[in-house]
Structure 1
Amino acid sequence: MHTWKSRPPPARPARSTSPPGHWRRPEAHWLNSPPGATSRTRPPSPQPTRLPARQGEHRRRRPDLRRRRVSRRARSTVESDAMALSVTQGFDLFLKQLTPRAGEREAKARHRSSVQASLRTASFGVLWFRETGSFTHGTGVRGHCDVDLLVSIKAVRPGSSETALEWVKSALKSSFPYTEVVIRRPTVQVRFASGAETWEVLPGFVTYRGGATSVYDIPGASRGWMDSAPTAHLDYVNEVNERRAVTGGAKALARLTKAWKYYNNVPVSSFYLEMRAAQHIAGEPSFVPVWDICRLLEKLDGHQLADMNDPVGKAGRFAACSSEATRREALSKLSTAATRARKALDAYQKEDHATAFTYLDLLFAHRFPSRWQS
């Protein structure tokens, strides 16, 4: 019988031979597996557990944070390298951007022969064709230029202008059955390429009221007939535009007013705006865009888009809108435009170019160039 003093000491655990801090593999469960067990039947060794990330740590990179830092640096670099434009320079750049490209003219003109052939075979007969409108006058706006074609009809003028429009629509629809052909007074529109290449065909009946100048009866903007002298009107615009004091001013101002119309969806006649612009420049000693766009818009707002007398005295009065409803809509947008143009001009006179650019950008529906150019 052993006493407590004679009992053997308990066995001490085997000392690890691994260096300090080294991870020791836990005892494998298969050490107690029965004899004959192979590595294929042994259970997998447990893997070390990955501790969760501490608060504030990111397991992966944050590229969004890096982009944010880079964008701040890039913005500061651009502002330091950019050049501030004056209001005059801003208008120069804007007018260049409004000028149609040569390819745009070529794309729209590719259908000329087929349109003319379609009308020549019609039963009403054709005397001649004449291109009119902004492309011919040099007052078109990039992306908003349609080809206007005046067709002089040989047949006797019908009592209703609607009948003449239906004649032209039927002839074009028979030649282009898969193309949209619609009446949009005072013209018939042929919308090639889903409207990207639109032709506007205007039926006209030549009269002898203008003497040596060809005067036509054409459909009115809303109903009935009206006089048109396209060659005389083009000569008038060119004559005003070539005045030495305002060289290029008439067509530039017409292009600016048309840009305001297109960018703000104002239902007003482009021809009316063009003739009003030429009439305004004809009485001015010089052309300064920020001044003249403001004064013209204020004039139009002041007389509430009243009908205009023909400045060459060859035709009747020009209407601004096709109906009273469209006139009310146009007047509402015109009032806003005149206010913005006046605020831009006031800022320009105070040499506050930043404010002037802000109101000009609003005037042209955020299409006016930025003041800062790299």
Structure 2
Amino acid sequence: MKRILKLPPDQHLRTVLARHSIDTGPNSAVRGVQATLLPLIVRWSGASLVDVKTSGSFAKGTAVRGGTDVDLFISLSSSLQTPLKEIYETLNAAVTVGGYVARRQNVSVGLTVGHWKVDLTPGRRQDQFGNYHSLWSTKTGSWLQTNIAEHCRVVSGSGRLDEIRLIKIWRNRYGLDFPSFYLELFVIEALKGARIGNLQQNIVTILEAIRDKIAVWRFADPANTNNIVSDTVTAGGKSNLSAAARNALASQWTTVFQ
């Protein structure tokens, strides 16, 4: 009978990370999606286009298999006079005209290119040279301010990318409502003062914080203190996260993280 050897917890977690890794290099398949969509974006935006760049988890280094494969942020000129709501609606229409099935989301238009899921987020610069942009929120029916470069700086420089990716893997495995930016900020806060690289213990610390603090910890967007990121999950959703963390802490890592 063949003997099955159990890996130490840290080694198991690192094996899971490797299994869920995504190629983010310059020649990755996901990068090709940007090239595929660029003609559509250029036709829609015309002379107002400033830049199209990867954003979200892909740009921060926290992407895992099973989430949105690529987020593209479309930066438009501050001189564009079109109302923000109309900017969003016309992009949604352009995606449909381009032959894709558009998914209306809070600040982005979702679509699928081949087998890749893509989110397109249009934003108008607030001034000629800065990174602050105004977006239309379909959820609130109003505008909000964001700074994608600041989001990337906060998360990418946190030293907690492995832990963030593992919590995303857990979230995806159990179908939990825990939006990525909220999750990223939560993990960074939960691990304040914790030793970098102490993976297994850090995951325990995070799950304990989700179990005990998810209902009370409040997180504002570092680029806009009026945008309360933690409000993106309802009280019921936070209760579900707390219960899921409690179950995870009582289970084997080989069951929780696969």
- Report if TM-score (shorter chain) is over 0.5: yes
Tell me the distance in 2 between the aligned counterparts of 1:131 and 1:251. 17
Report the CA distance shift for 1:286/1:153 in structure 2 as closer, same or farther (over 3 A): closer
Counterpart contact for 2:12–2:254, Cα < 8 Å: no
Counterpart contact for 2:95–2:101, Cα < 8 Å: no
Of 93, 97, 103, 2:15 maps to 93
1:141 match: 64
Counterpart contact for 1:214–1:229, Cα < 8 Å: yes
Question: 2:14 matched to 1:111?
Answer: no
Tell me the matched-pair count. Answer: 251
Question: 2:186 matched to 1:269?
Answer: no
Tell me the distance in 1 between the aligned counterparts of 2:31 and 2:206. 32
TM-score where L is the length of structure 2: 0.83
TM alignment of 1:5-44, pairs within 5 A: none
If asked which structure has higher relative contact order (CA below 8 Å, sep 6+), I would say 2
Q: Offset at 1:306?
A: 4.8
SS of 2:44's partner is coil
Q: Deviations over 1:262-314 (max 9, x none)?
A: 1111122112112222333343234422322232233234241754124xx43
Of 127, 138, 156, 2:81 maps to 156
Counterpart contact for 1:186–1:202, Cα < 8 Å: yes
Q: Which has the higher strand share?
A: 2
TM alignment of 1:185-200, pairs within 5 A: 185-193=106-114, 196-200=115-119
Of 202, 206, 230, 2:121 maps to 202
Report the CA distance shift for 1:94/1:85 in structure 2 as closer, same or farther (over 3 A): same
Q: Deviations over 1:207-258 (max 9, x none)?
A: 24xx9851112234732332221112212223222xxxxxxxx100110111
Of 235, 244, 258, 1:337 maps to 244
Report the CA distance shift for 1:362/1:219 in structure 2 as closer, same or farther (over 3 A): farther
> Radius of gyration: which is bigger?
1
Question: 2:10 matched to 1:78?
Answer: no
Tell me the distance in 1 between the aligned counterparts of 2:82 and 2:193. 38
5+ unaligned residues in a row in structure 2: which ranges?
none
TM-score where L is the length of structure 1: 0.60
Question: 2:91 matched to 1:168?
Answer: yes
Q: For residue 156 of structure 1, what is the amino acid of its counterpart?
A: Q
What percentage of residue pairs aligned between the two structures are identical?
Answer: 20
1:225 match: 143
5+ unaligned residues in a row in structure 1: which ranges?
1-76, 242-249, 344-357, 368-374
1:255 match: 165
